[in-house]
């Protein structure tokens, strides 16, 4: 089992898309293990996006991501990092296929409504950055034998 970090960005929250986004991961069969509604600081977002520090959009991205609330989540499932990235679509919604979250719900690269970790290594780093150990809820979902052989 893998875990990945997913966040509905401030534009997704403002547009009332938290429910629609959660629904897609729930119906896929993934298991929610932690979540919180919060406003991140600009410094926190600079740490989160440190890999992109040399990009021209870095400052604007971090300012935007800290401008309003985000809905932060950790989800669990087999091969989840890769599968969630496929469900997100491309970074640019204009290149995202219909059926993907970005391909169905947004238009512009700077307002692409959702974040999802891109590699298992980054997922571990991001989960640890956003959540403390006591914020994880342990439970056994009754669906496990019907989702996994």
Among 43, 47, 57, 107, binds ligand IDP (CB under 6 A): 57
Is 48 labeled as catalytic in the residue annotation?
no
Measure the CA–CA gap between 82 and 68, rounded to whole angstroms. Answer: 28
Among 21, 34, 61, 87, binds ligand IDP (CB under 6 A): 61
Tell whether residue 118 is a contact of ligand IDP (CB under 6 A): yes
- Residue 91 interaction partner, one of ligand IDP, Mg ion, none, beta carbon < 5-8 Å per kind: ligand IDP
Contact partners, residue 28, CB within 8 Å, separation at least 6: 77, 83, 87
- Residue 112 interaction partner, one of ligand IDP, Mg ion, none, beta carbon < 5-8 Å per kind: ligand IDP
């Amino acid at each position: 089992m893998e875990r990945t970090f997913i966040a509905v960005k401030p534009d997704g929250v403002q547009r009332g898309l938290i429910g629609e986004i959660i629904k897609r991961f729930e119906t896929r069969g993934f298991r929610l293990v932690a979540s919180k509604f919060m406003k991140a600081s600009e410094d926190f977002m600079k740490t989160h996006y440190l890999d992109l520090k040399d990009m021209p959009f870095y400052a604007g991205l971090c300012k935007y991501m800290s401008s309003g609330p985000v809905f932060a989540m950790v989800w669990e499932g087999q091969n989840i990092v890769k599968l969630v990235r496929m469900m997100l679509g491309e970074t640019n919604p204009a290149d995202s296929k219909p059926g993907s979250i970005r391909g169905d719900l947004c238009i512009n690269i700077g307002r692409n409504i959702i974040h999802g970790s891109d590699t298992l290594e980054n997922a571990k780093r991001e989960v640890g950055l956003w959540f403390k150990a006591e914020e994880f809820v342990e439970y056994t979902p009754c669906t496990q034998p019907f989702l996994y052989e």
